[in-house]
């Protein structure tokens, strides 16, 4: 059989290892076989390819080291980084928890939402200096490889493409292999800006594809305004869904969600019913705490794609936190029928069954969740089991469940808060205070530890501390009635002194 046909067959069946092996054997015999070289480049790219058009959540280091500030104090509802508006539609913050970044808890873990992912500032800060420079790991540091006329040579003891000897101008003008070469360098070596710039120039700035790739390189380097210009220029020549998504991501990183919404809605005018654009709009509204509009667009997503996992999960989460566990149960059952079989789905089914008073299925779902739990999710399962124990009145079991949650994850702020409440009921005020302070430090966007700490301080007579802490609770949740009443009581007391 022809080796090229066999390699192409393996590539189409996504058997990339076999494809690379066949191409390598052929290149050892004929290093200048462009077909085999291009195919091997594509196979190596597919192994590490990531859809960078999808949304991402900024990590801690990205926020701290970002100097692209638009407004130091943004108006409520116009910034993804600002505090939530005090009068927002949807469920109360008392019932709907937030992530550590302050966003409302979503139905899914989205791409890029986990800290310490490779290639981000979080990872650069956490990883020792492995490059030969003293600067943080970036696209311009570390060990790079290359390609050239001899760059077509594939040696067993060296890199496939040696970038240091690559004649960029030559390959930029050869459109038959330039695009495959760019994708290999972009995804595999993170150093493709020069090739994209020269290829754009070689096409007399008329090829929209190269403008998009140049914008992606600028975005990766943090040059968001330059990326914005390239994406806008590309859209003038060719309407493309990915270009709209990438331009929207630029505005999100610049903390301009309204501009991102305009871009996405403009894309919907061109591509009516496009699921990825509708999903991006829903995520922005969710980040702005406008959960009613977010659910509306998630329902539009399901109108065009009835098997969209994120939309089903987020709508189910919304119904659960708006006191409709029976409706949420239908959505999670649908996910189970679609073949999603993991700890989180059984955890959510167990909670929905409990609050829908289907007690016969509750413990069965949680047993299944514990059997499927990973190190990252087992703490949440024990925490929810603690709520179930409180619901049936078994305080000792609830205490043990919260303790087990802390054994699995020592940074679980919600468990510290609930343990503080249980210790408060037992009369162990000093222990309770320590739990509340720990919970507040681990989960700074939770108002419950601040309120509980203020209530405890008021009980023991430390009114000044109670006054200070209850103001922190109200800054996080201005509509909390109990905190307002406590603050009013303290102000009345101070006025009578």
pLDDT, position 74: 63
- Which of residues 189 and 97 earns the better pLDDT score? 189
Q: Is the per-residue pLDDT at 82 higher than 90?
A: no
CB neighbours of residue 92 within 10 Å? 12
Over range 187-215, report the average pLDDT: 87
Give residue-wise pLDDT tens across range 43-64: 988 888 877 777 565 555 555 5
Over range 104-109, report the average pLDDT: 69
pTM: 0.79
Q: Is the per-residue pLDDT at 121 higher than 50?
A: no
The pLDDT confidence band at residue 89, using thresholds 50, 70 and 90, is: low
Least confident of 45-54, 62-71, 110-119, 446-455: 110-119
Residue percentage of the chain with pLDDT more than 70 = 79
Query: What values do phi and psi take at 210, rounded to 5?
Result: -70, -30
Q: Is the per-residue pLDDT at 438 higher than 90?
A: yes
pLDDT, position 432: 94
Q: Is the per-residue pLDDT at 478 higher than 80?
A: yes
pLDDT, position 145: 33
pLDDT, position 192: 82
Q: What's the 3-state SS for 204-261?
A: CCCCHHHHHHHHHHHHHCCCHHHHHHHHHHHHHHCCCHHHHHHHHHHHHHCCCHHHHH
Least confident of 160-164, 426-430, 468-472: 160-164
- Which of residues 59 and 137 earns the better pLDDT score? 59
**Contacts with 409 (C-beta within 8 Å, 6 or more apart), sequence order:** 376, 378, 379
Q: Is the per-residue pLDDT at 350 higher than 90?
A: yes
The pLDDT confidence band at residue 83, using thresholds 50, 70 and 90, is: low
Task: Find the DSSP H helices in 356-428.
Answer: 359-372, 378-391, 395-408, 413-426
Over range 419-431, report the average pLDDT: 93
What is the overall mean pLDDT for the chain?
82
pLDDT, position 135: 39
pLDDT, position 119: 43
pLDDT, position 249: 92
Bridge partners for 98 per DSSP? 104
Per mean pLDDT, which of 84-93, 168-177, 285-294 is the most reliable? 285-294
Q: What angle do CA 435, 317, 98 make, to 5 degrees?
A: 35
Least confident of 179-193, 261-275, 279-293, 456-470: 179-193
CB neighbours of residue 421 within 10 Å? 20
- Eight-class DSSP state of 164: G
Q: Is the per-residue pLDDT at 399 higher than 60?
A: yes
Task: Find the DSSP H helices in 34-174.
Answer: 34-48, 60-64, 121-126, 168-172
Q: What is the distance in angstroms between the CA of the first residue and the CA of the last residue of the chain? A: 96
> CA 281, CA 284: separation in Å to the nearest integer?
5
Distances (CA, A) of 218 to 180, 190, 196, 209, 213: 19, 12, 10, 14, 9
Q: Is the per-residue pLDDT at 331 higher than 90?
A: yes
Distances (CA, A) of 391 to 397, 398, 402, 451: 11, 9, 14, 22
Over range 302-319, report the average pLDDT: 94
Closest of 375, 384, 358, 109 to residue 367, by C-alpha? 384
Rg (alpha carbons) of the chain, rounded to whole number: 27
pLDDT, position 120: 44
The pLDDT confidence band at residue 333, using thresholds 50, 70 and 90, is: very high
- Which of residues 31 and 88 earns the better pLDDT score? 31
pLDDT, position 27: 86
pLDDT, position 152: 41
pLDDT, position 72: 59
Residue percentage of the chain with pLDDT more than 90 = 47
Least confident of 12-26, 68-82, 292-306, 424-438: 68-82
Over range 256-271, report the average pLDDT: 94
- Which of residues 96 and 314 earns the better pLDDT score? 314
The pLDDT confidence band at residue 29, using thresholds 50, 70 and 90, is: confident
Give residue-wise pLDDT tens across range 141-200: 333 333 333 344 444 555 677 766 777 777 788 877 888 888 888 887 777 888 888 888
Cβ atoms of 86 and 478 within 8 Å: the answer is: yes
For the stretch 375-378, contacts whose Cβ atoms lie closer than 8 Å and that sit 24 or more positions apart, written own/partner, are: 375/408, 376/409, 377/343, 377/344, 377/347, 378/343, 378/408, 378/409
């Amino acid at each position: 059989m022809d080796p090229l046909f066999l390699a192409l067959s393996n590539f189409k069946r996504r058997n990339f290892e076999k494809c690379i092996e066949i191409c390598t054997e052929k290149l050892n015999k004929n290093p200048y076989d462009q077909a085999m070289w291009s195919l091997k480049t594509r196979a190596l790219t597919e192994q590490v390819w990531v859809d960078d058009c999808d949304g991402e959540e900024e990590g801690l280091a990205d926020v701290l080291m970002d100097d692209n500030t638009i407004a130091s104090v943004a108006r409520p509802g116009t910034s993804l980084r600002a505090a939530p508006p005090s009068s927002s539609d949807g469920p109360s913050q008392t019932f709907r928890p937030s992530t550590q970044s302050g966003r409302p808890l979503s139905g899914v873990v989205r791409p890029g939402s986990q800290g310490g992912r490779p290639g981000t500032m979080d990872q650069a800060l956490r990883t020792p200096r492995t490059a030969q420079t003293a600067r943080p790991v970036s696209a311009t540091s570390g060990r790079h490889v290359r390609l050239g006329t001899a760059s077509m040579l594939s040696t067993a003891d060296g890199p496939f493409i040696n970038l240091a000897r690559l004649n960029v101008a030559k390959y930029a003008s050869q459109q038959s292999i330039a695009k495959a070469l760019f994708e290999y360098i972009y995804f595999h070596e993170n150093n493709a800006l020069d090739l994209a710039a020269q290829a754009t120039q070689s096409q007399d700035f008329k090829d929209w594809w190269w403008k998009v790739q140049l914008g992606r390189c600028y975005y990766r380097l943090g040059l968001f305004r330059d990326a914005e210009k390239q994406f806008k220029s590309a859209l003038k020549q060719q309407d493309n869904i990915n270009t709209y998504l990438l331009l929207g991501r630029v505005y999100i990183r610049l903390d301009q969600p309204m501009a991102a919404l305009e871009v996405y809605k403009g894309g919907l005018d061109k591509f009516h019913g496009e699921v990825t654009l509708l999903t991006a709009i829903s995520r922005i509204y969710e980040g702005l705490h406008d959960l009613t509009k977010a659910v509306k667009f998630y329902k539009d997503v399901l109108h065009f794609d009835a098997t969209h996992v994120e939309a089903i999960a987020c709508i189910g989460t919304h119904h659960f936190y708006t006191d409709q566990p029976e409706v949420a149960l239908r959505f999670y059952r649908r996910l189970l029928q679609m073949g999603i079989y993991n700890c989180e789905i059984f955890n959510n089914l167990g909670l929905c069954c409990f609050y829908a008073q289907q007690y016969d299925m509750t413990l069965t779902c949680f047993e299944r969740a514990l059997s499927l739990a990973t190190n990252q999710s087992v703490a949440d399962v024990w925490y929810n089991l603690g709520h179930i124990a409180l619901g049936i009145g078994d305080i000792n079991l609830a205490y043990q469940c919260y303790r087990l949650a802390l054994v699995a994850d020592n940074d679980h702020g919600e468990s510290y808060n609930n343990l503080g409440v249980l210790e408060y009921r037992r009369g162990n005020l000093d222990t309770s205070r320590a739990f509340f302070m720990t919970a507040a430090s681990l989960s700074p966007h939770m108002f419950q530890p601040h309120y509980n700490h203020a209530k405890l301080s008021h009980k023991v007579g430390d009114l000044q501390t109670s006054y200070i802490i209850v103001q922190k609770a109200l800054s996080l949740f201005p509509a909390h009635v109990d905190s307002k009443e406590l603050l009013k009581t303290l102000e009345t007391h101070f006025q009578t002194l």
